[in-house]
Structure 1
């Protein structure tokens, strides 16, 4: 796989050494057991896969190269390039300005842009409508494009099944930049509807089977269906694609459920199901799958608590938190700075969108075992920072160096 030029400030000699060693031992990526850093009074179990994915490294390389190549131009990002505050703040410190926030609210009016300005498309991609707006301003919309190739693969799959007269069902968060972009590209070629979870998939199934009156669809899915959507006509042939950072098991569960509904409703067999349902399972992102599988493998080990490092608005990171918190106390932090002391930690409750302080973070009596992972947009340097800070609490710095 291609390697990228990522600023050294994001790299970690410790994490790179661990990842390279695991890659040598498990080139087929079939071993999802964690790496154990045994520091005596504290054991840190590091997930097999975590941190920057292909799409994130690609975006960072393009963005920083764009800044270097355009020293005399104004440089804008449509919105956050990735969902990590440290990376985005680095870009801001280099003079980059954000045109919109992550919800799509305009921060800088379009009218202030000039044809000579540079506009970077973030890793999530963007809508066809925004591409058209940039073109109208004299800006080439895709000249500085960091859209993840795996996001584009979802768009391509949606286009392929749309050409075969299937309606596209997008499993994603309706307000997320990637879902907005996927919805835009999909609806340009075929009727499209967004479902955010399995509950909405079940509700959609009621409209597929006619259990719910068709007229209620437009209220229940307001803002989540394409223009001209005909609930009776357009739910007869469907396929499911996803926002690449969703929980992979949920996307598969939604696809399997909709397939079963179509098979039963239209009395099809496994051999004829393709008449009503398109197989789109290959739209799941490899990094999303690997990171979530690594957390599942990590959770097989006994531990006292879990720490997940990443941006608080990162979808893929929040799903890692979900997996961990179902099994044991879990702390979602953006960096080692959130660890205030051995007892106190600031951590994010993404369910209620608030940061909390806990004062019973690490057990008073050792030994303690900690599961540790990070999101796909989190620099490895931040993970190393967490490891070193915890090691200091147990006077285990020398043992950490020995382990390295």
Structure 2
């Protein structure tokens, strides 16, 4: 796989060495057991896969290179390039401006842009409508395009099945930049509707079966269906794609559920189900799959708590938190600064969108075991910083170098 020139401030010699050792031992990525870092009173179980993915590294390289090569031009990002506040703040500090916030609210009016300006498309991609808006201003929309290729793969799959007269069901968060982009691209080819979870998938199924009056669809799914959507006609042949960072098991469950509803509704068998249900296979990105599988492997071990590092508005990170929460106390932090002391931690409750202060934090016992992972937009340097901060609570900072040497760092 291609390697990228990522700024040194985001790298960690220790984490790089650990990942390289694990890669050499497991080139086929079949082993999802964690890496154990035993410091005596503190033991850290580091997930097999975590941190920057292909799409994020690609976006970072393009964005920083663009800034470096165009010192005399105004440079804009459509919105946050990735969902990591530290990376976005680094770009802001270099003079980059955001045109919109993550919800699509305009921060810089379109009329303030000129054909001389540079506009970078973020890793999530953008809508066809925004591409047209940029073109109308004389800006080449995709000249500085950091859209993740795995997001584009979803668009291609939606287009492919759309041309075969299937309606596209997108499993995603309706307000998320990537889902808005996928919805835009899909609806240009075929009727499209977004479902955010299994509950909405079950609700949609009541319109497939005819259990619920068709007229109710338009209120229940307001803002989540394409213009001219005919709830009776357009749900007779469907296929499911997803926002690439959703929980893999939920996407699969939704696809399986909708498929069986369709099969029952039209008396189909597994042999002829394709007549009305498109085989989209999995449209999650490899990193989302790997990171979620790594957490599943992590959770096979015994530990006192889990720490997940990443941006609070990061979808893929919140799903890692979700998985960990099922088994043990889990703290979602944006950086090592949230680890206030051995007894206090500030962490994000993504269910209620609020930051909490927990005290006590680390249990008092002979050896504390912590599971540690991070989202796909979290720099490895930040994971190392979290490890160092945890060690400081036990006066074990000097042990970091000893562990690093065992991995050749």
Q: If the TM-score is normalised by the length of the shorter chain, which range does it land in? A: over 0.9
- Structure 2 Cα separation of the partners of residues 120 and 206 of structure 1: 41
Task: Give matches, 1:249-328, under 5 Å.
Answer: 249-328=249-328
1:77 equivalent in alignment to 2:97: no
Q: TM-score, normalised on structure 2? A: 0.98
**1:161-218 CA-partner distances (Å, limit 9, x unpaired):** 0000000000000000000000000000000000000000001010001011000000
CA contact (8 A) 1:40 1:396 kept: no
1:364 to partner: Cα distance:
2.3
Residue 365 of structure 1 is matched in structure 2 by 365
Q: Which stretch has the larger CA shift, 387-396 or 41-50?
A: 387-396
Residue 157 of structure 2 is matched in structure 1 by 157
- Structure 1 Cα separation of the partners of residues 78 and 363 of structure 2: 44
Any idea what SS the aligned residue of 2:369 has? strand
1:125 equivalent in alignment to 2:104: no
Residue 8 of structure 1 is matched in structure 2 by 8
Matched positions, count = 404
- Structure 1 Cα separation of the partners of residues 173 and 156 of structure 2: 19
1:69 to partner: Cα distance:
1.2
1:366 to partner: Cα distance:
2.6
Task: Give matches, 1:372-387, under 5 Å.
Answer: 372-387=372-387
- Structure 1 Cα separation of the partners of residues 366 and 100 of structure 2: 47
**1:136-169 CA-partner distances (Å, limit 9, x unpaired):** 0000000000000000000000000000000000
- Structure 1 Cα separation of the partners of residues 91 and 366 of structure 2: 41
**1:16-48 CA-partner distances (Å, limit 9, x unpaired):** 000000000000000000000000001000000
Any idea what SS the aligned residue of 1:222 has? coil
1:403 to partner: Cα distance:
1.6
Q: TM-score, normalised on structure 1? A: 0.99
- Structure 2 Cα separation of the partners of residues 175 and 211 of structure 1: 28
**1:323-347 CA-partner distances (Å, limit 9, x unpaired):** 0011100000000001111101110
Q: Which stretch has the larger CA shift, 63-72 or 368-377?
A: 63-72
- Structure 2 Cα separation of the partners of residues 146 and 401 of structure 1: 36
1:240 to partner: Cα distance:
0.1
Task: Give matches, 1:184-263, under 5 Å.
Answer: 184-263=184-263
CA contact (8 A) 1:78 1:122 kept: yes
Superposed CA RMSD in Å reads 0.6
Q: Which runs of 5+ in 1 are unaligned?
A: none
- Structure 2 Cα separation of the partners of residues 9 and 138 of structure 1: 35
- Structure 1 Cα separation of the partners of residues 52 and 287 of structure 2: 9
Residue 338 of structure 1 is matched in structure 2 by 338
- Structure 2 Cα separation of the partners of residues 362 and 42 of structure 1: 10
